[in-house]
């Protein structure tokens, strides 16, 4: 149990680091970094718990959607505190959950598909379908999850910079 | 870029002035990576505050807005090419704040125009702190995918080299797609060092995550966000842009792996 707790904390910590770094690439105001880190840590750690075979064992698409909802909630509620649009807190916090490996592997499989005409190469087609569909569903689930708080708290979301 | 109808209104601006202002504003808001919902809301807020009705058509490369003055019964169409300034949430925040200042009558029209000029003239250079934070972020990514400390160090170095190169090449005016290919190539070559020299137990994770800092995450999220709001053309355009960049980084990575004689990871 101690190791699991350590893993959850570690997951949240590194997700926060990743969110802050990616926030800096997008020229997010530095006052927003702490909110991005907090939201990313909470969301990513939740996803880790939900996906963990010994705890939730939930599929990555559903887990990402639920985690994005939590990230959205934190971002929307704290955006007025740092006076930035909700997206400025939300998007960098979501970035650590972007399925980059699935996206990369989809393109790799696409290139592999045309590299050989042999029927033995059918695995590339399977890899392309699996990775691209999973990638699309994760991103879609994340955005749906993250947008629910924006619609629930419309007034807060769009008046954060007022 | 507009049909010229100049109806003088109070506070020293005309329909044409307001149209030009909102067209510039929306083109920059799109350029900095705002969602279509935000563009419509902010532009509508400004138009209402200035006493006009607005109808916006957002296309992937251009924006078209129809501004009408209900009291004078006249209308005009304004178009602008979208600005390509890269994802910038600080710009997004400042432009959104500007729309509220206009809506709350805290600024006159001329002051608002001046503030817009100041906002869009602000330079946003890539600082060494950004390079450091990005490298740390990608090393953290490596950890999240199960990489060990050696792999994290290698990814840090690979990201640092690639990101520095990205800044230099973009400054030199190279096409962004070519820049992505070259950066992915360099990062992969650096990361392959972990495999060649037998550093750590997870060199494959180091190689795979070394290019993830190039994944265009914000355009992917923006695309899905526009899709939900039924802006299908913009959603598809943003998605295709992101896919092209992902393909470019994959090509760069494959070239790097081929050069180092690794068929795949």
Which ipTM score applies to this complex?
0.83
For residues A148 and A119, the answer to whether their CB atoms sit within 8 Å is no
State how many domains chain B has.
2
Left (φ > 0), alpha (ψ -120 to 50) or beta: where does B170 sit?
alpha
Q: What pLDDT sits at residue B3?
A: 42
Residues of chain B found within 8 Å of residue A21, distances taken between Cβ atoms: 133-138, 140
Rounded Cα gap, residues B199 and B207, in angstroms: 12
Residues of chain B found within 8 Å of residue A83, distances taken between Cβ atoms: 93, 97
Same domain, B33 and B139: no
Higher pLDDT, B3 or B258: B258
Domain boundary among B96, B121, B146: B121
Higher pLDDT, A107 or B48: B48
Left (φ > 0), alpha (ψ -120 to 50) or beta: where does A64 sit?
alpha
DSSP B13: B
Same domain, B73 and B152: no
In which domain, by residue range, is B170 found?
A: 128-259
Task: Output phi, psi for B73, to 5 deg.
Answer: 70, 30
Nearest CA in chain B to A22: B134
Would you say residue B264 lies in a domain? Answer: no
Nearest CA in chain A to B242: A103
Q: Is the pLDDT of residue A101 over 80?
A: no
Rounded Cα gap, residues A110 and A103, in angstroms: 11
For residues A89 and A35, the answer to whether their CB atoms sit within 8 Å is yes
Question: Under an 8 A CB cutoff, do B137 and A22 touch?
Answer: yes
Q: Is the pLDDT of residue B7 over 50?
A: no
pLDDT band at A152 (very low <50, low <70, confident <90, very high): confident
DSSP state letters, B147-159: --HHHHHHHHHHH
Same domain, B197 and B218: yes
Rounded Cα gap, residues B38 and B28, in angstroms: 12
**Which two three-digit tokens encode residue B158?**
């690979």
Domain boundary among B73, B102, B121: B121
Residues of chain B found within 8 Å of residue A32, distances taken between Cβ atoms: 89
Q: What pLDDT sits at residue B254?
A: 86
Task: State the average pLDDT over residues B128-152.
Answer: 91
pLDDT band at B265 (very low <50, low <70, confident <90, very high): low
Domain boundary among B68, B100, B121: B121
pLDDT tens digits for range B197-252: 888 888 888 888 899 899 888 888 889 889 888 899 999 999 999 989 988 998 99
Same domain, B27 and B110: yes
Cβ-nearest to B130 among A15, A25, A98: A25
Distance of CA B56 to the CA centre of its chain: 21
**Which two three-digit tokens encode residue B79?**
């178009």
Quick count: other Cβ atoms within 10 Å of Cβ B117? 10
pLDDT tens digits for range B86-101: 899 999 999 999 999 9
Question: Under an 8 A CB cutoff, do B96 and A143 touch?
Answer: no
Residue B170 Cα, gap to closest chain A Cα (Å):
14
Same domain, B97 and B182: no
State how many domains chain A has.
1
Which residues in chain A (80-99) have CB-CB distances under 8 A to chain B?
83-85, 87-88, 91-92, 94-96, 98
Same domain, B140 and B237: yes
Q: Is the pLDDT of residue B180 over 70?
A: yes
**Which two three-digit tokens encode residue B72?**
């004078």
How many interchain CB pairs under 8 A, A with B?
Answer: 155
Rounded Cα gap, residues B83 and B85, in angstroms: 6
Which residues in chain A (133-152) have CB-CB distances under 8 A to chain B?
139-140, 142-144, 146-147
Sheet holding B62-69, edge to edge: B53-58, B62-69, B74-81
Residue A39 Cα, gap to closest chain B Cα (Å):
15
Proportion of chain B above pLDDT 70, given as a percent: 94
Would you say residue A40 lies in a domain? Answer: yes
Q: Is the pLDDT of residue B154 over 80?
A: yes
For residues A98 and B220, the answer to whether their CB atoms sit within 8 Å is yes
Cβ-nearest to B144 among A15, A29, A110: A15
Measure Cα distances from A123 to A112, A113, A118, B204 in Å: 9, 9, 11, 20
pLDDT band at B262 (very low <50, low <70, confident <90, very high): low
Task: State the average pLDDT over residues B72-98.
Answer: 90
Rounded Cα gap, residues A42 and B189, in angstroms: 34
Quote the crossing angle between the two packed helices A122-152 and B217-228, to the nearest 10°: 60
Proportion of chain A above pLDDT 90, given as a percent: 47
Q: What pLDDT sits at residue B208?
A: 85
Secondary structure of B178-203 as H, E, C letters: HHHHHHHHHHHHHHHHHHHCCCCCCH
Proportion of chain A above pLDDT 70, given as a percent: 99
Question: Under an 8 A CB cutoff, do B89 and A142 touch?
Answer: no
Does an H or E element contain A85, and which?
none
Residues of chain B found within 8 Å of residue A143, distances taken between Cβ atoms: 221, 224-225, 227-228
Same domain, B161 and B100: no
Would you say residue A16 lies in a domain? Answer: yes
User: By the CB < 8 Å criterion, does A128 face chain B?
Assistant: no
């Amino acid at each position: 149990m101690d190791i699991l707790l350590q893993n959850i904390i570690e997951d949240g910590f590194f997700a926060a680091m990743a969110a802050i770094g990616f926030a800096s690439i997008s020229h997010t105001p530095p006052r927003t970094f702490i909110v991005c880190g907090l939201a990313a840590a909470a969301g990513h750690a939740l996803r880790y718990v939900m996906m963990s075979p010994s705890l939730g064992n939930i599929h990555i698409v559903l887990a990402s959607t639920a985690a994005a909802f939590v990230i959205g909630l934190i971002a929307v509620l704290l955006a007025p505190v740092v006076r930035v649009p909700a997206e400025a807190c939300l998007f960098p916090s979501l970035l650590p959950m972007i399925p980059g490996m699935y996206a990369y592997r989809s393109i790799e499989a696409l290139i592999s598909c045309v590299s050989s005409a042999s029927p033995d190469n059918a695995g590339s087609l399977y890899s392309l379908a699996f990775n691209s569909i999973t990638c699309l569903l994760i991103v879609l689930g994340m955005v749906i999850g993250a947008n629910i708080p924006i619609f629930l708290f419309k007034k807060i979301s769009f008046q954060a910079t007022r | 870029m507009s049909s010229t109808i100049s109806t003088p209104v109070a506070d020293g601006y005309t329909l044409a002035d307001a149209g030009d202002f909102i067209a510039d504003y929306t083109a920059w808001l799109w350029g900095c990576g705002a969602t279509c919902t935000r563009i419509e809301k902010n532009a509508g807020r400004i138009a209402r505050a200035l006493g006009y009705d607005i109808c916006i058509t957002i296309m992937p490369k251009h924006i078209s807005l129809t501004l009408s003055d209900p009291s004078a019964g006249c209308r005009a169409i304004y178009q602008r090419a979208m600005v390509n300034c890269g994802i910038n949430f600080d710009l997004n925040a400042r432009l959104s704040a500007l729309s509220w200042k206009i809506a709350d009558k805290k600024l006159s029209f001329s002051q608002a125009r001046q503030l817009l000029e100041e906002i869009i003239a602000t330079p946003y250079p890539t600082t060494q702190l950004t390079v450091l934070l990005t490298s740390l972020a990608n090393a953290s990514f490596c950890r999240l995918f199960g990489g060990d400390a050696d792999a994290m160090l290698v990814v840090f170095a690979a990201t640092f080299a690639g990101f520095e190169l990205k800044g230099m090449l973009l400054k030199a005016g190279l096409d962004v797609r070519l820049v992505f290919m070259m950066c992915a190539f360099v990062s992969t070559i650096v990361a392959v060092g972990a495999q060649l020299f037998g550093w750590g137990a997870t060199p494959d994770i180091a190689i795979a995550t070394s290019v993830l800092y190039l994944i265009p995450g914000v355009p992917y999220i923006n695309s899905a966000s526009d899709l939900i709001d039924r802006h299908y053309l913009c959603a598809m355009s943003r998605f295709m842009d992101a896919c092209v960049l992902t393909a470019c980084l994959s090509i760069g990575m494959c070239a790097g792996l081929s050069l180092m004689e690794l068929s795949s990871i």
